[in-house]
Amino acid sequence: MWKINDKEFELDLTEAETVERYHKSLKILEKMPKPTKKTLTKDYILSYCKTFREFYDEIFGFPISEQLFVDVPESILKYNQIYESFLEFVKNQPTGLEALQQFTK
């Protein structure tokens, strides 16, 4: 269970559908525009944040971004902090291979 902003979201990375959504969601992040001195504008920041909202909606399979980002300003720093929390959560999840190894011991 991922706990963030006083909310909890379930994500099982040993489940086939979830893994498929996970890989699709990573492709969303790959399409994020790269910042430059000229592009670091309000429009860029809004686009950056929108990309992350789409990422979370895809990976969880339902629109969680409204819940996840309630009271969170459209801020690269704030969105990155949430993403860092998510990466830490994912890092601590067992993989399908680890779950299989536990079963076959």
DSSP the chain: -EEETTEEE---TTSHHHHHHHHHHHHHHHTPPPP-TTT-SHHHHHHHHHHHHHHHHHHHTS--HHHHTTT--S-HHHHHHHHHHHHHHHHTSPPHHHHHHHHT-
Domain that holds residue 27: 2-95
How far, in Å, CA of 93 to CA of 104, rounded? 19
Confidence (pLDDT) at 24? 92
Express each pLDDT in 22-64 by its tens digit: 899 999 999 887 877 777 788 899 999 999 999 999 999 888 9
Confidence (pLDDT) at 75? 94
Structural domain includes residue 12: yes
Residue 104 has pLDDT above 60, yes or no: no
Structural domain includes residue 100: no
**Into how many domains does the chain fold?**
1
Percent of the chain exceeding pLDDT 70 equals 90
Structural domain includes residue 103: no
Residue 105 has pLDDT above 60, yes or no: no
How far, in Å, CA of 68 to CA of 72, rounded? 8
Structural domain includes residue 45: yes
Structural domain includes residue 83: yes
Confidence (pLDDT) at 93? 81
Residue 101 has pLDDT above 60, yes or no: no
